[in-house]
Structure 1
């Protein structure tokens, strides 16, 4: 079994787009997601998320999470009605923005690169960007609702490449899950694993400053 690659083996010279996953990269969403799904489970008299369930739903779309958490139900409409009643908007303020994100996005813009998001969130992403004043900080945002297949499929990254006429090695994707890694691998793009040293990637980073250094942005290499 091959060990995860730790060295930076990216060729950054051709990169024209930097794309971020949302949960676990742009934001620490542990508190928000746990509260939302625990409230949802409690509404149906189910136990709170255990650690394995939490790790799994972190990568999933809402639809996949509902099917995973309620396998005994043939009809999930009552769950979706409860989701609408609870409203994810109530926990959006609990999402903690990663320190240095805004500065990194500004540096990416100054370098003339495209700033993008590829997330398995659906209709909550717009509210997240508005709540945290990031709506104007990205050039393109692709959610699970915008493509036929969510991550781990490459559709989101391919959509971004298509929008800017890019080839795979002109895009770098920053993610923190095996879904992100598989999406980048299938799309043929560069992949930076964020705060996940055990995840195979072209490079690893534990902070936004480290990402900026890996991208060789002037602000981080002076």
Structure 2
């Protein structure tokens, strides 16, 4: 990869910036319990990890034509109390500071909807990104490329000037459709240019470690 071409480093949130497995599992288990359903099994958990909240609820409650009661309960539950169960990836802040010092645009492309702002606030990351694109800001979330295309449009970037780091099939598909550079984070099963296990691996690629 010609590293000199890259101008923006874009992160997925869940599974890249944060280990959100425990938080997400607790969140969806609580709503399932309200409706007398069993807790998430592993297949369900893997699938909802990639989805928007709407997509996850439609997937978990396929027998219900009217999901309004589920969404009402979600509002009552809220996600904020689960943010404390998220674990920020070691070295994330340090990497973001180094990327800024080197002049890179730092971005987020996530299928989170209305919780990303609170996550950034709670973990002191509000000022660490030049652009944050959530599912709420686009018509079609990942695997659609719209989030990445919006970042390109905003900063007048070409596809090969974006380095997108994701951990799911949705991320991979969005990257392919947007024709951006893709790095797989802690997921060797994805097709990617790079396979990363830590923030240090990203720093090494950009020679800022």
Q: Secondary structure at the match of 1:120?
A: coil
Shift of 1:198: 1.7
Match of 2:134 among 137, 143, 152: 143
In the other structure, the counterpart of 1:156 is 147
Superposition pairs for residues 66-85 of structure 1, below 5 Å? 66-85=57-76
Gaps spanning 5+ residues in structure 2: where? none
Shift of 1:84: 0.6
Kindly indicate whether residue 186 of structure 2 is the aligned counterpart of residue 195 of structure 1.
yes
In the other structure, the counterpart of 1:29 is 20
In the other structure, the counterpart of 1:41 is 32
Kindly indicate whether residue 50 of structure 2 is the aligned counterpart of residue 63 of structure 1.
no
In the other structure, the counterpart of 1:18 is 9
Gaps spanning 5+ residues in structure 1: where? 1-9
Structure of greater relative contact order (alpha carbons < 8 Å, 6+ residues apart)? 1
Kindly indicate whether residue 103 of structure 2 is the aligned counterpart of residue 112 of structure 1.
yes
**RMSD across aligned C-alpha pairs, in angstroms?**
0.6
Match of 2:118 among 127, 132, 135: 127
In the other structure, the counterpart of 2:201 is 210
Query: Which consecutive aligned stretches of 4+ in structure 1 deviate over 6 angstroms post-superposition?
Result: none
Residues 12 and 216 of structure 1 are in contact (CA less than 8 Å); yes or no, is this contact kept in structure 2? no
Residues 27 and 97 of structure 1 are in contact (CA less than 8 Å); yes or no, is this contact kept in structure 2? yes
